[in-house]
A and B are shown apart, each in its own frame.
Chain A
Amino acid sequence: MGKPWKIVLAGEGGQGVQSVAGILADAANDQGREALYIPNFGVEQRGGVSVAYLQIGDEPVGAPKFQTADIIIALSDRAVTRTTRYTGPDTVFVYDSGIENLKDEDLPTGVKKILAIPALDAAKRELHPRVFNVIIMGAVIKATGVVPEEKAKEALEKKLGYKFEQKPELRDMNFKAIERGAELVAEAL
């Protein structure tokens, strides 16, 4: 109860942050919770940083955008720079430890916690680069508890079920990616 979780997901176009936000919003809604998801759009949509603003709670959500996020997941150096403005003393800031060219001074200060997770690396080595964003979804779920893992899997099934029917191994891989994302966060915490 109380205030909704305020989540910012940011990455490069093509990293799939918008689909992750969409699936999480669907999962929360299916569970009967209140979700509000707004993508950034406009000219930045192509070739820029893609930012998804997601709020999940038990009461109807207020303003669609917010000043301070409870959790930020940044997946590229530009995404880190771009999302620093949404940090506050209670923000958990998560970034991928595999981001190249990222200097320590680029990371936000004065936040509750900074977590580096090797999601990109895990995707490449253990699963498939394409499920990188699903690993991120697993990480968000673990870090916030906004939806249970099972609900997220159901939402994935809803969205990608037609692909899973053709290639059942895809289902396993996506579900593993959720679990793996959760583990990565648990380890980092």
Chain B
Amino acid sequence: MTEKPVQEEKRVFMTGNEVCAWAAAAAQAEIMYGYPITPQNEIMHYWTRLAPKYNRDFLQTEDELSAGFTTAGGIMAGKRAFTATSGPGNILMQEPFSMAEAMRLPTVAIIQQRGGPSTATVIYSQQEVTMTSLGGNGEGLRIVYSTATHQELFDYTIKAFNTAWKYRFPTFVLADGYQAKMRESLKMYDPEAKGIKMVSTEPYVGKEGVPGVDRDPGHFRNTYNVEEELYEVLEQYIEDYDKMAPEVAEYEEIGSQDADVVVISHGVVSRAAKGAVQELQKQGYKVGYFRPITIRPLPVNEIRDIANSAKKVMVVESANGQLDRLIKEKVYGCNAEMIPFFKPGVGITTEEVESRLKELF
């Protein structure tokens, strides 16, 4: 047996892309399918260096359609398979992800957001929130973890595989170009040593026995002949999703329950929001911080509580209101005034959030 990629817990200092590759290896991912696009390339670079040492596999495909569909194929063969992409690549992958939704395939994809629309920048944005959460011609039956630190990139990449295989919905780790390219410290560990048991995988096709003789054949499809047939399937899926939602929804907060103004942000922007809130709390402002870690499904009850107890809720993001739309849908009928602070495609600093917040008092 090959040894584990990460054995003893150790502090490391590396880029986010390298973290993702190590986390996938630690999570016993077996095969990655990928296609080059900045800023996620180094996930493939590190994975292809790690993979042969730990008996894992990699396929570089002809495009992101293929990367997504080969991932689906790998999963149907029963392997813990994953892919990674960004921007225009994420657009192409919406097609395979929609098939994954339709067929309940536990695909895992790491999205390193870049600027949009179109080619835009290879650098950074939070503009792939809508697409990653709700892309495809469907209902967004997906799980999206939005990470803020390298530690979370490691933790949630591992968790993504378990959530995906437990609930069988496509699962995403949504980060961005900053997280992909920056270096900071984190602790890597072997999940099992931390009591995290990897949810076991199982093949959809190629199970034991002769189909039609020893067992029924697995006939997997995403096409239905009549409306009612589809409706019945979707009703079950949506029921499963709604039941799952409170079990997987996660958040982080600081003093959000008794604040006059609460900042809601996600991902790397929440580092700026958190810094600003902590500084202002020191100065005596009644300000709170709330950050959904799962932007789909959202921690709905907590968000509604805030929107009922706070006077103002400011949503901060490097997009023109993509998180804001998701939040507003959930806070319909609540009391708080919603304040936008949107900088599409541009990083947001602690100083900016701080000065904007002060204007609200």
Direct contact of A and B (CB under 8 A): yes
For B123, the closest partner residue in chain A by CB is A42
Q: Do residues A35 and B351 form an inter-chain contact, with CB atoms below 8 A? A: no
Q: Is B78 at the interface (CB under 8 A from chain A)?
A: no
Q: Is B99 an interface residue (CB 8 A)?
A: no
Q: Mark A83-98, 1 if CB is under 8 A from B, else 0.
A: 0000000000000000
Q: How far is the CA of A179 from the CA of B287 in the complex (A)?
A: 47
Whether B271 pairs with A25 at a CB distance below 8 angstroms is: no
- Asked if A143 is at the interface of the complex by the 8 Å CB criterion, the answer is no
Number of residues of chain A lying within 8 A (CB) of chain B: 23
**Interface positions of B from 159 to 210, Cβ below 8 Å from A:** 177-178, 181-185
Which residues of A (22-81) have their CB < 8 Å from a CB of B?
22, 25-26, 29, 34-43, 60-68
Number of B interface residues in the complex (CB < 8 A):
26
Interchain CB contact under 8 A, A62 and B351: no
Whether B183 pairs with A37 at a CB distance below 8 angstroms is yes
Rounded to whole angstroms, the CA-CA distance of A60 and B11 in the bound complex is 13
Q: Looking at the assembled complex, report how far the CB atom of B36 sits from the nearest CB atom of chain A, in whole angstroms.
A: 15
Contact of B121 with A64 in the complex, beta carbons under 8 Å: no
| A65 CA / B269 CA spacing, docked (Å) | 10
Q: B251 interface residue, CB < 8 Å from A?
A: no
B130 to chain A, nearest CB (A): 23
- Residues of B near A37 (CB, < 8 A) are 182-184
CA distance A63 to B348 in the complex (A): 8
- The answer to whether B122 touches A42 (Cβ under 8 A) is yes
Question: In the bound complex, do residue B352 and residue A35 qualify as a contact, i.e. CB atoms below 8 Å apart?
Answer: no
Whether the pair A64, B149 counts as a contact (CB closer than 8 A) is: no
Partner of B272, one of A22, A39, A40, A63: A63
Q: How far is the CB of A47 from chain B (nearest CB, A)?
A: 15
Residues of B within 8 A of A35 (CB): 13, 183-185
B322: interface (CB < 8 Å):
no
Contact B13 A63 (CB under 8 A): no
Q: Which of chain B's residues have a CB closer than 8 A to the CB of A29?
A: 13, 185
CB < 8 Å neighbour of A64 from B122, B182, B274, B351: B182
Query: Which residues of chain A come closer than 8 Å to B13, judged between CB atoms?
Result: 25-26, 29, 35
Whether, in the assembled complex, B350 has its beta carbon less than 8 Å from a beta carbon of chain A, the answer is: yes
**Do B350 and A62 have beta carbons less than 8 Å apart?**
yes
Cα distance A36–B150 in the bound complex, in angstroms: 10
For A42, what are the chain B residues with a Cβ–Cβ distance below 8 Å?
Answer: 121-123
Q: Smallest distance from the beta carbon of A115 to chain B beta carbons, Å?
A: 24
Interface, chain B (partner A; CB < 8 A): 13, 38-39, 121-123, 149, 177-178, 181-185, 268-269, 271-272, 274-275, 347-352
What 5 pairs between A and B have smallest CB-CB spacing? A62-B275, A38-B182, A63-B272, A29-B13, A67-B351
- Complex A-B: 5 CB contacts under 8 Å: A36-B182, A38-B183, A63-B348, A64-B347, A67-B352
Q: A63-B269, A65-B178, A67-B349 are in contact. List 15 more A-B contacts (CB 8 A).
A: A22-B183, A25-B13, A29-B13, A35-B184, A38-B182, A41-B38, A41-B177, A61-B184, A62-B274, A63-B348, A64-B178, A64-B268, A65-B349, A66-B350, A67-B351
